[in-house]
Structure 1
Amino acid sequence: MRLPLLLTALLLVILGNSAFAQEITHSFLACGEKTYIMGADGKVSWTYPAATRDGYVLDDGTIILTLSQSKRNGGSVVSIAPDGQETLIWQGTQSEVNSAQPTADGTFVITEAGDNPRLLEVSATGKVIVEFPLACQKKNHHMQTRMARKLQDGTYLAPHLLDFADYHYARDGQLLDKLDTTAPNDPDHRIHTWPFTAIRHGEDHTLVCCTHGNRVVDFDADGKIVWTLTNDDLPGNWLQDPCGGQVLPNGNIVITSYAAGRADPTAPKMFEVTPDKKVVWKYADGQKVGIHHFQIITTNGTRLAGPSLK
């Protein structure tokens, strides 16, 4: 039976539009009280039996994890080969180890919190290559720092929560400048805009997720906030202690809300927004356990190219 010409044309339009409106899928590594890799099909493909704070999946399948502090130690950094063999890279010496970024040189940028907060860059065997003290407050160890990252020019960004700023350090530890994350009209820090991430991207922009203040801001190269995301921009109160973030190659931003799910199990733990703040992907699992940080590994089945901006 032949379809009428008009109906045939209509079907072609519908099918054509659906081809261009492909639903976004991601696979990702989740770090937090539970550590796992979630496949694009919504099924967990890998788990690790310990809580973590930061993590990376390298191109060869090796997984780098920053383990949370426990009764036995103040945290550590481990490497897990594709065959499952685990190697200790760094054993924490103070209260907490909060991040471990793999660099293009095969080293790892690590921060320790404690009486003497410090940043280290170490080799794969734990040899210290760079070490300097962090210029943050020392009273509250847990609120000293989070996701420190080495930049392409060899300098470092480190967010200092109770100092309400992201600090920019030279290789010798000299403080070059800092980005103030204090919310507008909040000089007394009542909103608690604690910076958790500092993601350098684009033309020297820096994206910062601010926990408790429930804001995500983007600074331009001159240190001016040029983009802000709050719950007023979203379908609901989805920014609930936004911790980790990642800037994708297409410019979209993925954010995790660590407290999402505690009060409302339907609230997304992670979601993706475009630069014009349109939500294009979200993830919710109905559990109260939050995601501290993450790494988007693939999008629509394709591995993301280049270093992860997270």
Structure 2
Amino acid sequence: MNIFSKGLLLLMMSHLFFVNQGITFQPDLSPINAKEIRHSFFIAGPNFTGIIGEDGEEIWDSGKKGARDGYVLKNGNILICWADEVREYNKKKKVVFTYSRAEKTMELGTAVRLSNGNTMITESGSNPRIVEVNKKGEVVKSVPLKPDTDNIHMQTRMARKLPNGNYLVPHLFAFAVKEYQPDGNVVNVFRTDLADLGGREAENWPFTAIRLDNGNTLVTLTHGNKVVEFDANGKVVWEINNSHVKESPFVDPCGAQRLPNGNTVIASYGAQKGIKLFEVSPDKTLVWSYDGHRVHHFQILTTNGKPLKGTPLK
């Protein structure tokens, strides 16, 4: 198969992927450079919340700004979290699930669809907690959190449920990622104010925490402008920051995703211009970047026309 045929096949696969989501676009039939990385991705951001195609075009727009978290689900629906509510859109852009905060002073920060069909959501406020909500929007489980601050906006960000049933939760002002059991008991803590990371003066506020397949935990440290990987004992085994990348793309990194090839994609939420989203290899080489809309969190969907396989590590 020559390079043109391979390129055409990849683009057809990409087209079919988006058609399954009720999204259509005209494919570019020009050959693909084998060395060029092209991603399509979902953005939860302050100015745009939707899907960007591999050519940088806006494929889908939720019509509501300021999203914090979100997933393109396996069935093609899109689950999105704003501070005031969570919505799920079907392929026809109809809202098929909603969950709203109970008080105006509360902030919702995370929305994850669980394997049992329930939705996990974080609530920051006077009684910070994780809730699991059924399809009717009813709370069926509640897990109290210990963010170590009354500052609602800085209590909690991207929490995720682990395969063992526990919850991995970053707490910004606590300088800690805590692992909670379903009863709210903390069984593990990853400190982000370590001396080797610059201490508290570095403002290494943990934002996104991801449990990797090897058991390590990847964490974005937003004001600290770095991303680190901890082993099971809380030791930093990998770190990347602006000193490692000549483009200096770290500006309040918030979202992150570890790709199946081992590369890491990072969102520079604070960037007003220039690079907003970028991919680095394990040896800390910048291999891809996006300079369009600002990005709070995201999900890489395809690479060169091929959908990513498995559960996204984000």
Same fold (TM over 0.5): yes
* Residues 230, 186 of structure 1: alpha-carbon distance in 2 compared, 3 angstrom cutoff: closer
Cα-to-partner distance string for 1:247-299 (whole Å, 9 max, x where unaligned): 11111100000011x2xx2x2101101111111111112xxx62110000111
| Corresponding residue for residue 38 of structure 1 | 52
| Corresponding residue for residue 23 of structure 2 | none
SS of residue paired to 1:190: helix
Tell me if 1:259 matches 2:266.
no
| Corresponding residue for residue 29 of structure 1 | 42
- Written as runs of structure 1 = structure 2, the 5 A alignment for 1:3-152 is 21-33=34-46, 34-50=48-64, 51-68=66-83, 75-94=84-103, 95-152=106-163
Cα-to-partner distance string for 1:54-102 (whole Å, 9 max, x where unaligned): 010012210000023xxxxxx1111100011103431112420000111
Q: Is the 8 A contact 1:203 1:221 kept in 2?
A: no
Counterpart of 1:48, as a letter, is S
CA distance in 1, matches of 2:278, 2:137: 35
Deviation at 1:19, TM superposition (A): 8.4
Larger RCO of the pair (alpha carbons < 8 Å, separation 6+): 2
RMSD: 1.7
SS of residue paired to 1:84: coil
Tell me if 1:296 matches 2:296.
no
| Corresponding residue for residue 71 of structure 1 | none
In structure 2, list runs of 5 or more residues that go unmatched: 1-30
In structure 1, list runs of 5 or more residues that go unmatched: 1-17, 69-74
Larger Rg: 1
SS of residue paired to 1:52: coil
Match of 1:277 among 278, 284, 288: 284
Counterpart of 1:275, as a letter, is P
* Residues 38, 164 of structure 1: alpha-carbon distance in 2 compared, 3 angstrom cutoff: same
TM-score by length of 1: 0.86
SS of residue paired to 1:142: helix
Q: Is the 8 A contact 1:117 1:138 kept in 2?
A: no
Deviation at 1:186, TM superposition (A): 6.7
Deviation at 1:164, TM superposition (A): 0.3
